[in-house]
Structure 1
Amino acid sequence: MFEKLSYLQLQQYWWFLVGTLAALFVFMTFVQGGQTLLRELGRSETQRDLLVNALGRKWELGFTSLVMFGGALFAAFPLFYSVSFGGAYFVWMAILFCFIIQAVAYEYRKKPDNFLGQRTYEIFLFINGSLGIFLVGAALATLFSGGHFVVNEMHLSRWTNPLYGLEALANPFNIAFGLMLFFLSRLLASLFFINEIDDEAIYARARKSLLRCTLMFLAAFAYVAYAIATMKGYGYDPATGAVFAKEGKYLQNLLAMPAVAGMLLAGVLGLLAGVAMTLWGGSRRGIWPAGIGVVLVVLALFLTLGYNDTAFYPSLSDPQSSLTIQNSSGSRYTLVAMSYVSLMVPFVLGYIAFVWRAMSAKRLTVEEVENDPHHY
């Protein structure tokens, strides 16, 4: 089956899977967004317990999707993994730290006699939801804006900036991208709480939060969308591998791939529809069209980055070192073998959907949390 595909088709297939995992992770960032809303939506300890337990039932799925995203990149595109994760060391270590303290917080927040205290663990959750997600957004933005690395003929790489990834925070585009992801996570969290929790006070505050976060998100999104449409990208000659700069490359990619452009438009409309049906239609299920919309938008952006002979990770130090799906992938044998393993993905997603539905069959109430001896 997969043996019949060309090497390029296998690389495109795996870039599609990587983009799908990235899209699912971005959708799951409603967990991080919710962690930043604990004090805003929960005015009492009981309400905060309710919010944390709603998120606690889902946080592992978000963490798992992030790990799967990194694992798929490592397996299918090992050169990107070594260049970015090894070169932009300080940024990725900061992100890792933010996600470690999230796991610790959910584990120990309500444990009796914990020496740090409940408030400390709630601060950990806030750090993960704010700084952690902002840094993830800034790191993803470098796929458009590029990184300071050089790759030699032996595929050995070195980072050329002593800040090892932190220099990305000096780029306004990267900052705007990080803020966009931060406000998107809060937007999704508001929709999630509205759908998941049976508490009228939290419901009313979540609607107000949704409006504020949507306006902030749209402002950041407009800037990022304009920047991507007008920025310089890098294409390459598939025959020789030579990389060249091209103005408006990403917009040209969308025009050259109408299916991807349609996916992007459908995703934006889905997100806006989810917000609109919640704010003005009175629905409590806006998380689903919004979530599907987010998945479509992120996947479309990844396809725009990697398809149509585009360097998905430009090098600012040496353009010829820029990474493409062709020069950064594993061997054909590796991609074929992993492709058979990837056939299990629909079953895994089906199991996750089944468990999600079982855990969210009815909205969470204060009484249910108080009667649960294992609550977060």
Structure 2
Amino acid sequence: MFFGLEHAGLQIYWWIILSLLGGLLVFMFFVQGGQGLIDKLSSNDDEKSLIINALGRKWELGFTTLVLFGGAAFAAFPLFYSTSFGGAYWVWLAILFCFIIQAVSYEYRKKQGNFLGSKTYESFLKINGVLGVFLIGVAVSTFFSGSEFILDDNRFVSWTGFFRGLEQLGNPYNYLLGIALVFLSRILANSYFINALDNANIVNKAKKSLLVNTLFFLPFFLGFLAWICLKDGFFVGENGLVSMQEYLYLKNFLALPVVLAMLLLGVVLVLGGIYSSFKGGKGIFALGAGTVLAVMAVFLNVGLGNSAFYPSTVNLQSSLTIINASSSYYTLSVMGYVSLLVPFVLGYIIYVWRLMDSKKLSLSDLDDHAY
């Protein structure tokens, strides 16, 4: 028994863990955001290499967080994992492809004799920086818009459409979060460069880019919040039956004041971090904390509220909740003890981060082992 929690308590606990990992993953998208800004912030090849090397020191942390998110989903909510990752596999294969070419690019961009050339690998980084983030935003949006799957009596999933998840691109509302995440990743990247680089030209360009991307981010993010609060939601009744209900996700926020407070605090910290970064301060930390809180609030709303977190649009009763999609009590309990290692992992990441950024990176710091 994990700290005396019953099965329902463990389901809530693991959804909170999954929400935290989702927030950390979005924060780590500053790497992807920076990749999309390589040409815009650099004036020559040396500055481009400086930007890529600053990101190269951190890209593995984001990749690891993505793997942890997938692993936690598999262990705690295996039916969600098999339905989403196994059913909507075309969209997830596209996302995986975007992250594979990122890893290849950092490994081979500066390798002598690479037959594709540096420009090709830089293009791969840009694809990952835009398309990879956008597709993840679209995938998360389906928590609110729904997907086209059916579960049979044996809980075997079948997808009704040929496109296996790519049909999500046919819903323009799913684009709101996808585009918002792209601009948020660039905001985070600009803030990171201002804090981590010793190069006046890049920092000045980053400050201007910070404002531009903020102007684009806000309408898409606010549009996403307006959409989920005003749309009909997939309500789960006391009998477990799923039905459509007006303003469900708005009602979830109002019924969960702590989650609403997390969202509002997250937004305030993001705006404060943007202002601090523009003034030359260490706004990346406020931005990071705000991003994690806001993303967690969105996940907690759909998972802990009276709603299905992975709804089906073709068969409402096939929709997944944290109750019907979770692992057994024994599995959640055992994995609960494993989760106690998470603070130590986070502590290690923070320690390594501080060591890497104890001194601002400049052109003189680049050597033969540069990315």
- Aligning the two structures, in what range does the TM-score lie when normalised by the shorter sequence? over 0.9
Q: Deviations over 1:48-72 (max 9, x none)?
A: 0100000000000000000100110
User: Which residue of the other structure, out of 309, 312, 322, is the alignment partner of 1:312?
Assistant: 309
Separation of aligned partners in 2, 1:223 and 1:150: 30
Separation of aligned partners in 2, 1:237 and 1:176: 29
1:374 maps to 369
TM-score for the superposition, normalised by structure 1: 0.97
Separation of aligned partners in 2, 1:173 and 1:60: 31
Deviation of 1:295 (Å)? 0.3
Deviation of 1:242 (Å)? 1.0
- Aligned-partner residue type, residue 89 of structure 1: Y
Percent identical residues: 53
Deviation of 1:276 (Å)? 1.3
Matches within 5 A, 1:203-222: 203-222=203-222
User: Which residue of the other structure, out of 335, 345, 348, is the alignment partner of 1:348?
Assistant: 345
Separation of aligned partners in 1, 2:268 and 2:37: 25
1:25 matched to 2:25? The reply is: yes
- Aligned-partner residue type, residue 374 of structure 1: H
Separation of aligned partners in 1, 2:173 and 2:9: 32
Separation of aligned partners in 1, 2:63 and 2:25: 8
Separation of aligned partners in 2, 1:308 and 1:46: 50
Tell me the SS of whatever aligns to 1:361. Answer: coil
Deviation of 1:153 (Å)? 1.9
Unaligned stretches of 5+ residues in structure 2:
none
Matches within 5 A, 1:153-164: 153-164=153-164
Q: Deviations over 1:336-359 (max 9, x none)?
A: 000001011101110111011001
Tell me the SS of whatever aligns to 1:289. Answer: helix
- Aligned-partner residue type, residue 241 of structure 1: G
Separation of aligned partners in 2, 1:104 and 1:283: 33
1:302 matched to 2:293? The reply is: no
Tell me the SS of whatever aligns to 2:206. Answer: helix
1:326 matched to 2:323? The reply is: yes
- Aligned-partner residue type, residue 370 of structure 2: H
* Preserved CA contact (<8 Å) 2:252 2:306: no
Tell me the SS of whatever aligns to 2:245. Answer: strand
Separation of aligned partners in 2, 1:173 and 1:346: 36
Matches within 5 A, 1:181-260: 181-238=181-238, 240-260=239-259
- Aligned-partner residue type, residue 265 of structure 2: A
2:136 maps to 136
2:78 maps to 78
1:290 matched to 2:287? The reply is: yes
| Count of residue pairs the alignment pairs up | 371
1:93 maps to 93
Separation of aligned partners in 1, 2:255 and 2:240: 20
Tell me the SS of whatever aligns to 2:243. Answer: strand
Separation of aligned partners in 2, 1:86 and 1:285: 41
Deviation of 1:278 (Å)? 2.4
Could you say what the CA RMSD is over the residues aligned between the two structures, in angstroms? Answer: 0.9
* Preserved CA contact (<8 Å) 2:144 2:311: yes
Deviation of 1:283 (Å)? 2.8
Deviation of 1:309 (Å)? 2.7
1:148 matched to 2:148? The reply is: yes
Deviation of 1:155 (Å)? 1.1
Separation of aligned partners in 2, 1:362 and 1:219: 36
Separation of aligned partners in 2, 1:8 and 1:153: 23
Tell me the SS of whatever aligns to 1:190. Answer: helix
Matches within 5 A, 1:61-76: 61-76=61-76
